[in-house]
């Protein structure tokens, strides 16, 4: 490492420690080093290389380079800019920082804008595009780029006029001496680009903001580079804005209340929801000018720490190679953990044993949290820590994802290395052992989606779930071999990839890998035939095998040796030919005398419990030719398409009760009556699965409610749905929980709250029934059944289709029941035919839309 980099690292560490001391906070050494090495240093080196590249393009003529910084409010952009300014100054670069917050309209102009848009809450206060003086900003940018004398940069006083703010007087503006090397231009809406409002569903308020945003293109044409701090959850913004206000309140200083903070962030949330998605996509998929600007993207966590190494677009920085995870890098990352004594952890029980050591369930004596201790054996290692353990630690600290097991800490002694992981209750293998007939469909789809999401994240970050040749010369990361034993599950139904001791990063060109590591049953046929040059498709084959095992309850290809494994695959899928897999003849272990088995038209016979769409997805995973296997990202899209019913859709031509359908749309969709009608027609009839699910849920909930009614009247009748009211609580939870998830709240906690509320409602109804009052038995409540059934259908269908991986387990069983009912009743809707008048209105509406 160069003296320059060492000096810079030390300088930034001093700044971080100083700021922590000011806040009276303890320094987390691991987080500090990670922030320096994975965040500030790569950002600085990338910036300096962009500056050098721009000046080289100008024939060596020095000119100011403008670098944009986009980060949501509270994400640390101001601190980041300050540190970068310090670092650039330390290296002899003149740098100025200007924020979009400093060029808001003056107070008088703000008031005029608010008066001109009295009904638009987005323009009543400063903040959104439209409240920024872009012409003034363009003048300042030109001044910074061309001036060799004193440069004056404005400041905005947000405390003036009762918090509305106003531009500070000239005497308070910052002054810099030109010429500048770098101008850092930051803002929460930096990079936002106007969209075509003619083909989008912008509200009237957002249309004004969208129009004002078009002038931002002038700013973007001045940028020589863009640094993007990317987040995964918009709720983090509320938390980040609340944190400083809470500190002020604790110090008895003027501060916003939690409600005021939420109202404040709510003003900007429509813009985030409208433009962030477009900003986060790969620039190659965009045709705008901004997409051609060099870009460096950092994914950050809720703690504002880097979640992974940065990703570059439109520019390749030679300096950033210093920060890739090469063979020597894991050792440096190994020492980023805070040293903790082994006495901190209390062993509870031994839960497993692997190639490299033993796994214990344990308890953290400090936090009380249950954790997993993975003890690595060092006795056989003459050189100390095994390279496999070093790679595992390095990778786990780089891969921060909700479907990847989290590594908390390590404890290193002379003869032992202990990894402290989050604890998950069981693995998928144990879960399948008690499900001999396979998983219920909603659980299967949820697990498959989470597995694909974790795999896609790994592949995006160039990580294979297979061991690599130890001599491979491309920089390496670590992961696991894919099998049910290495897929961990917790009580909340979350599935995570674990056991990262056998993985290897991949790059381009593809390197050679050993084929002697993957569990036999999940090994791809190209690997079984000796292929040593493979990439992500080998993981997809394993996912396909796991997918089928979850559906059937047992392994798909349970071979006893490599030869037997290949034979079992060929027997069930047919012997591959050159036409199917052209490169097969080049594999080292390929034999022309392989037994010839016929190729079936479909793999449906292998997974009888899967429907047509599920079989189709499995077939795309289990392709002999690796080049033809579906990618993890595309498989996720296909699975979501199946859940939403957008494949093989057709109109059944069956009628339903239009008034009750409109009730659902009135509850769940904004817009005019015509828009609501169009919505319910499209939602219900456009795709066959939606119609089937609607009919099944509709009839199922009616059956449950009627059984409950007759129970209240003392008319006990035999039904095939269990005790009266058995699924009532889950139905109510699904309906109301779906409404909340559709709207403002999306946390699982709200589903649990709705579940408890519905149980309380059931208890109340039964108490009233015992006292002789039967509300659902009275004539005036006769329309409650179809109406409530429609509401429940809306909530359940939205949850089931749009949030398959976040469903609380308490709803899954009921959804499985309702979904199964849909299969029985999708063609038996004659019991619910509407009146002729309703039918006429419904058909006219269909033609009208």
Q: In the chain, pLDDT over 70 holds for what percent of residues?
A: 63
> Is residue 528 within 8 Å of residue 562, measured between CB atoms?
yes
Q: Report the range of poorest mean pLDDT among 13-27, 314-328, 826-840.
A: 826-840
Q: Can you give the pLDDT at residue 726?
A: 35
* 665 has a pLDDT exceeding 50: no
- Convert the pLDDT of each residue in 351-380 to its tens digit: 877 656 788 999 988 878 889 888 876 554
Top-ranked range on mean pLDDT: pick from 105-109, 278-282, 589-593:
105-109
For β-strands 65-70 and 225-230, DSSP reports them as parallel
* 788 has a pLDDT exceeding 60: no
Q: Please give the residue that has the higher pLDDT: either 804 or 78.
A: 78
What tokens were used for 581? 């897999």
Distance CA 314, CA 481 (A): 34
Residues whose CB is less than 8 angstroms from the CB of residue 317 and which lie 6 or more positions away in sequence, other chains included: 45, 46, 49, 50
> Is residue 626 within 8 Å of residue 542, measured between CB atoms?
no
CB burial of 407-430 (b: ≥16 within 10 Å; e: otherwise) equals: bbbbbbeeeebbbbbbbbeebbee
β-bridge mates for residue 426, sequence order = 489
The 10 Å Cβ neighbour count of residue 531 is: 22
* Strand blocks (E) in 416-543: 416-422, 426-427, 463-464, 487-489, 495-497, 504-505
Helix (H) or strand (E) holding 361: strand 357-364
- Convert the pLDDT of each residue in 191-246 to its tens digit: 999 887 665 678 888 988 988 898 998 999 999 999 999 998 898 999 999 988 88
Q: Tokens 């769940």 correspond to what residue?
A: 668
Top-ranked range on mean pLDDT: pick from 62-71, 340-349, 674-683:
62-71
> Is residue 410 within 8 Å of residue 336, measured between CB atoms?
no
* Separation in Å, CA 253 to CA 162, 250, 280: 16, 8, 37
CA atoms within 13 A on the CB side of 111: 8
Distance CA 318, CA 241 (A): 37
Helix (H) or strand (E) holding 348: strand 345-353
The full 3-state SS of 58-113, as one line of letters, equals: CCCCCCCEEEEEECCCCCCHHHHHHHHHHHHHHCCCCEEEEEHHHHECCHHHHHHH
* 628 has a pLDDT exceeding 80: yes
The number of angstroms, rounded, from the C-alpha of 815 to the middle of its chain's C-alpha atoms is: 24
- Convert the pLDDT of each residue in 167-194 to its tens digit: 999 888 988 888 899 999 999 999 999 8
Q: Can you give the pLDDT at residue 397?
A: 61
Q: Please give the residue that has the higher pLDDT: either 768 or 422.
A: 422
DSSP codes joined into one string, 253-273: -----HHHHHHHHHTTHHHHH
Distance CA 179, CA 194 (A): 33
Distance CA 321, CA 329 (A): 11
Distance CA 529, CA 515 (A): 9
Q: Can you give the pLDDT at residue 97?
A: 93
Q: Give the closest residue to 49 by CA, choosing from 68, 35, 69, 67.
A: 67
The full 3-state SS of 698-763, as one line of letters, equals: HHHHHHHHHHHHHHHCCCCCCCCCCCCCCCHHHHHHHHHHHHHHHCCCCCHHHHHHHHHHHHHHHH
> Is residue 167 within 8 Å of residue 109, measured between CB atoms?
no
> Is residue 60 within 8 Å of residue 48, measured between CB atoms?
no
Q: Can you give the pLDDT at residue 550?
A: 93
Q: Is the dihedral of CA 663, 669, 674, 675 positive or negative?
A: negative
Q: Can you give the pLDDT at residue 666?
A: 39
Q: Can you give the pLDDT at residue 92?
A: 83
CA atoms within 13 A on the CB side of 96: 26
Q: In the chain, pLDDT over 90 holds for what percent of residues?
A: 19
Q: Give the closest residue to 94 by CA, choosing from 55, 58, 65.
A: 65
What tokens were used for 275? 């433009």
| Confidence category of residue 770, pLDDT binned at 50, 70, 90 | low
Distance CA 530, CA 590 (A): 8
* 137 has a pLDDT exceeding 90: yes
Active-site residue list: 481
Q: Give the closest residue to 580 by CA, choosing from 536, 622, 637, 631.
A: 622
β-bridge mates for residue 460, sequence order = none
> Is residue 481 within 8 Å of residue 466, measured between CB atoms?
yes
* 113 has a pLDDT exceeding 50: yes
Q: Can you give the pLDDT at residue 321?
A: 52
Q: Tokens 């770098």 correspond to what residue?
A: 182
> Is residue 797 within 8 Å of residue 693, measured between CB atoms?
yes
What tokens were used for 804? 């398959």
* 519 has a pLDDT exceeding 90: no
Q: Is the dihedral of CA 715, 717, 719, 721 positive or negative?
A: positive
Q: Cα angle vertex 216, ends 213, 219, to 5°? A: 170
Distance CA 476, CA 510 (A): 12
- Convert the pLDDT of each residue in 812-845 to its tens digit: 444 444 444 433 333 333 333 333 444 444 445 4
For β-strands 166-167 and 156-157, DSSP reports them as antiparallel
- Give the total residue count for the chain: 849
The number of angstroms, rounded, from the C-alpha of 322 to the middle of its chain's C-alpha atoms is: 28
* 619 has a pLDDT exceeding 90: yes
| Confidence category of residue 731, pLDDT binned at 50, 70, 90 | very low
Q: Can you give the pLDDT at residue 326?
A: 31
Q: Is the dihedral of CA 394, 37, 191, 313 positive or negative?
A: negative
* 712 has a pLDDT exceeding 90: no
| Mean confidence (pLDDT) of the chain | 71
Distance CA 78, CA 96 (A): 12
Distance CA 671, CA 675 (A): 6
- Convert the pLDDT of each residue in 555-589 to its tens digit: 999 888 888 999 999 999 999 999 999 889 888 88
Sketch out the chain's domains with CATH numbers: 3-99+187-323 (3.40.50.300), 332-423 (3.30.200.20), 427-644 (1.10.510.10), 658-848 (no CATH)
What tokens were used for 500? 């990262």
| Confidence category of residue 654, pLDDT binned at 50, 70, 90 | very low
Distance CA 242, CA 230 (A): 20
| Confidence category of residue 646, pLDDT binned at 50, 70, 90 | very low
Q: Please give the residue that has the higher pLDDT: either 262 or 835.
A: 262
Q: Which positions make up the binding site? A: 374
> Is residue 811 within 8 Å of residue 729, measured between CB atoms?
no
Q: Can you give the pLDDT at residue 540?
A: 92
| Confidence category of residue 394, pLDDT binned at 50, 70, 90 | low
Q: Give the closest residue to 426 by CA, choosing from 470, 379, 350, 485.
A: 485
Q: Can you give the pLDDT at residue 351?
A: 83
> Is residue 693 within 8 Å of residue 819, measured between CB atoms?
yes
Q: Can you give the pLDDT at residue 414?
A: 59
Q: Which positions make up the binding site for ATP? A: 374
> Is residue 752 within 8 Å of residue 781, measured between CB atoms?
no
Q: Tokens 């477009």 correspond to what residue?
A: 278
């Amino acid at each position: 490492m160069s003296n320059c980099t060492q000096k810079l690292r030390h300088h930034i560490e001093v700044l971080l420690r100083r700021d922590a001391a000011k806040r009276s906070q303890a320094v987390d050494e691991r987080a500090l080093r990670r922030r320096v090495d994975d965040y500030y240093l790569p950002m600085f080196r990338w910036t300096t290389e962009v500056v050098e590249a721009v000046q080289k393009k100008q024939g060596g003529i020095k000119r100011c380079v403008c670098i944009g910084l986009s980060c949501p409010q509270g994400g640390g952009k101001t601190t980041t800019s300050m540190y970068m300014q310090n670092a650039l100054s330390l290296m002899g670069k003149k740098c100025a920082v200007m924020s979009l917050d400093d060029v808001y309209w003056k107070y008088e102009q703000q008031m005029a804008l608010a008066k001109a848009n009295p009904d638009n809450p987005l323009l009543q206060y400063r903040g959104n595009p439209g409240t920024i003086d872009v012409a003034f900003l363009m003048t300042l940018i030109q001044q910074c780029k061309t001036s060799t004398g004193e440069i004056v940069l404005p400041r905005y006083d947000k405390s003036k006029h009762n918090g509305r703010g106003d531009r500070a007087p000239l005497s308070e503006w910052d002054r810099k001496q030109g010429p500048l090397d770098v101008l850092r231009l930051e803002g929460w809406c930096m990079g936002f680009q106007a969209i075509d409002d003619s083909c989008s569903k912008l509200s009237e308020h957002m249309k004004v903001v969208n129009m004002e945003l078009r002038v931002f293109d002038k700013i973007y044409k001045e940028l020589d580079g863009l640094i993007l701090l990317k987040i995964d959850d918009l709720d983090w913004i509320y938390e980040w804005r609340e944190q400083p206000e809470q500190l002020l309140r604790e110090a008895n200083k003027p501060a916003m209340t939690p409600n005021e903070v939420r109202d404040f962030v709510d003003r900007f949330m429509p813009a985030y929801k409208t433009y962030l998605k477009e900003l986060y996509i790969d620039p190659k998929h965009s045709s705008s000018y901004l997409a051609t600007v060099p870009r460096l993207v950092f994914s950050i966590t809720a703690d504002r720490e880097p979640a992974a190494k940065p990703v570059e677009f439109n520019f390749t920085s030679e300096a950033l190679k210093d920060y890739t995870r090469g063979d020597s890098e894991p050792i440096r990352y190994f020492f980023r953990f805070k040293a903790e004594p082994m006495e901190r952890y209390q062993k509870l029980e031994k839960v497993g044993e692997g190639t490299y050591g033993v796994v214990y369930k344990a308890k953290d004596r400090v936090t009380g949290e249950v954790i997993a201790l993975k003890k690595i054996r060092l006795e056989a290692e003459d050189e100390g820590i095994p390279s496999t353990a070093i790679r595992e630690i390095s990778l786990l600290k780089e891969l921060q994802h909700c479907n990847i097991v989290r590594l908390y800490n390590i404890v290193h002694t002379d003869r032992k290395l202990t990894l402290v992981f989050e604890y998950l209750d069981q693995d998928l293998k144990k879960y399948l052992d008690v499900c001999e007939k396979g998983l219920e469909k909603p659980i299967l789809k949820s697990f498959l989606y989470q597995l694909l999401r974790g795999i896609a994240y790994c592949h995006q970050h160039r990580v294979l779930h297979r061991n690599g040749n130890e001599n491979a010369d491309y920089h390496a990361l670590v992961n696991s071999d894919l099998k049910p034993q290495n897929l961990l599950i917790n009580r909340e139904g979350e599935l995570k990839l674990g056991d990262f001791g056998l993985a290897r990063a991949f790059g381009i060109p593809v390197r050679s890998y050993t084929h002697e590591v993957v569990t036999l049953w999940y090994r791809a046929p190209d690997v079984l035939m000796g292929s040593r040059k493979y990439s992500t498709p080998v993981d997809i084959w394993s996912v396909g095998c796991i997918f089928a095992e979850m559906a059937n309850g047992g392994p798909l290809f349970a071979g006893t040796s490599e030869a037997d494994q290949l034979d079992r695959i060929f027997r069930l899928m047919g012997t591959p030919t050159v036409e199917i897999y052209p490169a097969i003849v080049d594999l080292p272990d390929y034999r022309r005398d392989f037994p010839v088995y016929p190729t079936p038209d479909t793999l449906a016979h292998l997974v009888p419990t899967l429907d047509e769409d599920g079989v189709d997805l499995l077939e795309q995973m289990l392709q002999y030719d690796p080049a033809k296997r579906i990618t993890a990202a595309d498989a996720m899209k296909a699975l979501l398409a199946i859940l939403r019913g957008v494949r093989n859709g057709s109109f059944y031509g069956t009628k339903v009760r239009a008034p009750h359908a409109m009730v659902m749309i009135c509850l769940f969709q904004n817009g005019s009556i015509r828009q609501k009608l169009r919505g319910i027609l499209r939602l219900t009839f456009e795709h066959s699965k939606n119609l089937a699910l609607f009919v099944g849920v509709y009839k199922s909930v009616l059956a449950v409610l009627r059984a409950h009614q007759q129970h209240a009247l003392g008319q006990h009748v035999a039904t095939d749905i269990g005790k009266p009211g058995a699924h009532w609580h889950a139905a109510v939870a699904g309906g109301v929980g779906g409404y909340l998830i559709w709207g403002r709240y999306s946390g699982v906690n709200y589903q649990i709250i709705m579940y408890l509320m519905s149980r309380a409602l059931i208890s109340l109804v039964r108490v009233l029934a015992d006292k002789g009052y039967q509300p659902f038995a009275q004539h005036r409540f006769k329309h409650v059944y179809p109406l409530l059934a429609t509401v429940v259908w809306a909530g359940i269908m939205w949850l089931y289709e749009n949030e398959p991986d976040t469903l609380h387990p308490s709803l899954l069983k009921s959804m499985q029941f309702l979904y199964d009912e849909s299969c029985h009743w999708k063609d038996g809707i004659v019991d619910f035919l509407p009146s002729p008048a309703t039918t006429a209105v419904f058909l006219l509406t269909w033609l009208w839309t």
